[in-house]
Amino acid sequence: MNKFLKDLENELFKLKVSPKEIKEILEDHKEMIEVAKTEGLSDEELSKKFGDPIKVAKELYSDIKTEPKMSFESTSTESCVSYKTNEYNLVKAFSEIDGAITFEANLVSDDLQYATYDGNEIQVYEQNIMNLDDYEIAFTDNTLVLKRKKELKIFRNKEVSGEFLILIPSTITHERVEFNDVSGDANFNGVVTEKLILKLTNGDIELTNIEAGDSKFSFVNGDVEILNLRGNTIDVSVINGDLEINEGIFAGDLFFNTVSGDIELTNVECVSADLRTISGDLVGTEFYPKEVSLSSVSGDIEINNQDKAREIHVNRKKSISGTIKIN
Amino acid sequence: MNTQFKRGIVELCVLSELVSEDAYGYKIINNISEHLDVNENTIYPILRRLTKEEYFVTYIVESEQGAPRKYYKMTEKGFNYYIELRESWDQFIGGVYEILNRGGKKNEQVFERFRK
């Protein structure tokens, strides 16, 4: 019956059930199988009684998925109310949406707000954008593109930065969201995407209520604030900025690399975590990876958890002059 | 049988198992699968969902043979839900039998039309 448990675990992983729940479900099954054995059931009777682990995983998942995901639904609709679209100018709207979309944005100094709302078309707004001809804004082949077209002149007049606001119907999911910006700030709210790729040099970024399969972030100087991110894997590289994650559930691995920025993780769960820092500090509170690798040159790493019963397996722990503590 | 339909019935059975006494997971599964052709695949997810919905609470009891067992206990909320479900089930199944039995006629009478 060990195969049953292993298959069940794998299937639940695949279905992106949270590690905490997987642990509980497996414990329940271990117990039930053991009881069945003490009552003298043969292997054949056992497998008849317990059936197919894939079926049980699917059944469990269909229950889990119909639950409100950490108030995901309600907050995402609230968020659109707070955008005062009358302060912006509507640039374009697209309504022929066919399934999951891709969003690609390349900006230089403009800010971006990207959020879901209750409508059924994609709306692109602007505020203080000097010349819209400098931008490519299009929606073709289910891909939304927002691009700063012109090569930047080296001796330019003072660069004035504006802001884009993009509203996406809340029923729409994304295959990929890819955003590059040099000095603008960005704010994503209520987005569901298979892939989330963010590259920022100086801007700050805020992510709220995001569901992203695999995320890859690279930031140089900006600060990053994440509230409620659910996904599979996340790979973050930070040079100077600080990163904060509050409420994060990952069905897969988490990889953080920081040079001098500080990282703060609160209420985060994942399968394995690999945290590396040169001189930045790293603090985890209620941070539960199944297994963790920690390395630091001079930064300190500290993990403070209440639930002592949840074991964290330490694969590697290495520091030159920093301290590493798991409390 | 239609899965959605079956699930609803098994849900009622799970609730019914816990009305009179607390029980551990395997016992509930065993009791139900003695009478109905369902296995753990159907029962455990229901047990888990009803616990999440606060119809049951769980507690651990050390066992003399082997590992500690997780017992399920019905809450008052669970009891109210059971009564509600039970009433609509009785009404429904009563109605179904009314139809099947054609108001008390015997099967022989009902099948008369197709007798060759």
Mean pLDDT by 10 residues, chain B (116 residues): 75 95 94 89 92 94 83 95 91 83 66 75
Q: Best residue in B4, B32, B36, B48 to probe A by mutation, most A CBs within 10 Å?
A: B48
Identify the weakest region by mean pLDDT among A154-163, A167-176, B50-59: A154-163
Assess whether A30 and A179 both reside in one domain. Answer: no
Assess whether A145 and A289 both reside in one domain. Answer: yes
Q: Does any CB of chain A come closer than 8 Å to the CB of residue B45? A: yes
| pLDDT at position A68 over 50 | no
Assess whether A151 and A94 both reside in one domain. Answer: yes
- Cβ neighbours, 10 Å, residue A246: 16
Which of A156-168 are b and which e, b meaning 16 or more Cβ less than 10 Å from the residue's Cβ?
Answer: eeeeebbbbbbbb
Mean pLDDT of the region A307-327? 82
Q: Which residues of B touch A51 (CB under 8 A)?
A: 39-41
| pLDDT at position A111 over 60 | yes
Domain ranges, residue A51: 2-66
Q: Which residues of B touch A55 (CB under 8 A)?
A: 41
Total domains, chain A: 2
pLDDT of A83 reads 61
Assess whether A52 and A145 both reside in one domain. Answer: no
pLDDT of B57 reads 96
Give the pLDDT band (50/70/90) at residue A71: very low
Assess whether A136 and A9 both reside in one domain. Answer: no
Structural domains present in chain B: 3-114 (1.10.10.10)
Q: How far apart are CA B95 and CA B32, in angstroms?
A: 24
Q: Do A31 and B24 touch (CB under 8 A)?
A: yes
Give the pLDDT band (50/70/90) at residue A144: very high
- Cβ neighbours, 10 Å, residue A243: 24
The amino acid present at B103, given as its one-letter code, is G
Assess whether A199 and A313 both reside in one domain. Answer: yes
- Domain final position from A66, A94, A111: A66
Give the pLDDT band (50/70/90) at residue A319: confident
Assess whether A52 and A105 both reside in one domain. Answer: no
- Beta bridge mates, A250: A231
Assess whether A312 and A188 both reside in one domain. Answer: yes
Q: Do B70 and A48 touch (CB under 8 A)?
A: no
pLDDT of B7 reads 81
pLDDT of B75 reads 96
Tell me, what CATH number does A239's domain have?
A: 2.160.20.120
Q: How far apart are CA B53 and CA B10, in angstroms?
A: 16
**8 Å CB contact between B54 and B75:** yes
Provide the chain B residues 85-114 that lie in CB contact (below 8 A) with chain A. none
Give the pLDDT band (50/70/90) at residue A74: very low
Q: Does any CB of chain A come closer than 8 Å to the CB of residue B33? A: yes
Q: Do B30 and A49 touch (CB under 8 A)?
A: yes
pTM: 0.55
Task: Report residue A15: phi and psi, to 5°.
Answer: -85, 5
Q: Do A32 and B25 touch (CB under 8 A)?
A: yes
Q: Which residues of B touch A59 (CB under 8 A)?
A: 41-42, 45
Reduced to 3 states (helix: H, G, I; strand: E, B; else coil), residue A86 is helix
pLDDT of A76 reads 35
CA distance to partner chain B, nearest, from residue A141 (Å): 38
Task: Read off the pLDDT of residues A183-231 as tens digits, 9 standing for 90 and up.
Answer: 888 899 889 999 999 888 887 889 988 999 999 988 888 788 998 899 9
Which of A297-312 are b and which e, b meaning 16 or more Cβ less than 10 Å from the residue's Cβ?
Answer: eebbbbbeeeeeeeee
Assess whether A157 and A56 both reside in one domain. Answer: no
Assess whether A112 and A193 both reside in one domain. Answer: yes
| pLDDT at position A32 over 80 | yes
Closest CB from A30, A63, A67 relative to B45 = A63
ipTM above 0.90, yes or no: no
Could you tell me which residues of chain A have a Cβ less than 8 Å from any Cβ in chain B? 25, 28-32, 34-36, 38-39, 48-52, 55-56, 59-60, 63, 67
Assess whether A97 and A237 both reside in one domain. Answer: yes
Q: Which residues of A touch B66 (CB under 8 A)?
A: 34-35, 38
Assess whether A122 and A200 both reside in one domain. Answer: yes
* Closest by CA position to A287, among listed A269, A307, A309: A269
> Taking all residues of chain A, what is their mean pLDDT, rounded to a whole number?
83
Return the higher-pLDDT residue of A155 and B36.
Answer: B36
Give B28: exposed, middle or buried? Use CB within 10 Å, 0-12, 13-18, 19+.
Answer: buried
| pLDDT at position A159 over 80 | no
Mean pLDDT of the region A161-168? 88
